[in-house]
Amino acid sequence: MRTHNREPQTLGEGTLDRMARILATRNIDQADVAALPDEPEPLSPLDALSAGMPPRYRAAVADHLQVLAWIREVTEAAVAPSPGARRQVTTGPSLLMAGVVGAGKTHQAYGAVRELVKGGIGVRWRATTAADLYAELRPRQSVDSERDLAVISRCPLLIIDDLGAARATEWTEEITYRLINRRYNHMLPTLITTNLRISDLRAYLGDRVASRLAQMTTRVEFEPVDRRRSRAAA
C-alpha cells in the first residue's frame, strides 16, 4: 500500500477575504481574534487537587511517621477500575489524629491527600469541620439533609476536622454515629482530627461511635506544642 504525504493546506486570499467580511458584519476586530490566547494546558492531577484546597494547605506536606504509614496502606489498597486505568482510593484504614490546637493535625491531613495524588493515586475526597458538617446537615426547608448525609458518607476519602469542637447534643451524637457507622461498615478511609484527648472522646461521642473509631482507626497523639504560636514568636 502506498501512502501520500499531503502538503499543509493554507487559506487562500478568497477565504481570508470572506472571513474578514464576516467579522466586519459582526463588529469583530480581526486584531482581537488574532490576540485570543491559546487553549490553556490541562491541569495536572496535583494542580487540580491544589485548586480545590484551602490556600493555606495547598503546599501541605505529610511528614509524621504514622501519617506516612497510613498513606502507604491506602496506596496499597487502591484499585484500578479497569485495566490500564489509574488506581483509585476505594477502601482502607482510617486515622484519628489528636493533639492541642495548632499541633499540625490539619496540615498533616491535607498533606496526606497531596501525597496520595503525587504517588499517582486517584482520590475523590471531601474535607469539612465537624461544626460545618452539623450546620450543613441540620434539617431545614428545601434541603434534603438525608441525601446530603448519604453523599458525605459514601465519599471515598473524608477529612473530618475538629471533631469534638462543636457543642455536643443528642442530635450531633446521632449524626456522628450514622456517618461513622456507614464509613465503618464500608471500610472507607477517614482522616479525623480532634483537640480532645483520646481518653475524652468516649464521653463526648458516646460509646457507639467511640467503639467503632477504636476499631477502624489508628490513633495518633501529636506533641502538645502549638506550632502556630511557635512560628509567630520566631
pLDDT of residue 11: 43
Q: Cβ neighbours of residue 51 under 8 Å, at least 6 residues apart? A: 43
Mean pLDDT of the chain: 86
List the one residue out of 231, 188, 190 whose CA is nearest residue 56: 231
In angstroms, the CA 155 to CA 219 distance is 21
Is 80 exceeded by the pLDDT of residue 102? yes
* Least confident residue range of 88-102, 104-118, 168-182, 197-211: 197-211
pLDDT of residue 42: 73
pLDDT of residue 21: 67
| pLDDT bracket for residue 10 (50, 70, 90) | very low
In angstroms, the CA 69 to CA 72 distance is 5
As a whole-number percent, the residues of the chain with pLDDT over 70 amount to: 78
Q: How far is CA 185 from CA 91, 92, 176, in A?
A: 11, 12, 14
In angstroms, the CA 16 to CA 192 distance is 62
Is 60 exceeded by the pLDDT of residue 119? yes
pLDDT of residue 6: 47
pLDDT tens digits for 167-189?
889 999 999 999 999 999 999 99
Is 50 exceeded by the pLDDT of residue 16? yes
Place of cell 474578514: 20
Is 80 exceeded by the pLDDT of residue 93? yes
What average pLDDT does the segment 102-126 reach? 96
| pLDDT bracket for residue 233 (50, 70, 90) | low
In angstroms, the CA 186 to CA 109 distance is 21
Is 80 exceeded by the pLDDT of residue 133? yes
Instruction: Provide the CA 98 distance to its chain's centre, in angstroms.
Output: 20
pLDDT of residue 61: 96
* Single-letter code of the amino acid located at 229: R
Is 60 exceeded by the pLDDT of residue 7? no
Is 80 exceeded by the pLDDT of residue 226? no
In angstroms, the CA 130 to CA 105 distance is 14
In angstroms, the CA 34 to CA 80 distance is 43
Let me know: does 72 contact 78? Beta carbons within 8 Å: no
pLDDT tens digits for 21-55?
666 666 666 555 455 555 666 778 888 898 889 99
pLDDT tens digits for 193-222?
999 987 788 888 899 999 999 999 999 999
pTM, to two decimals: 0.79
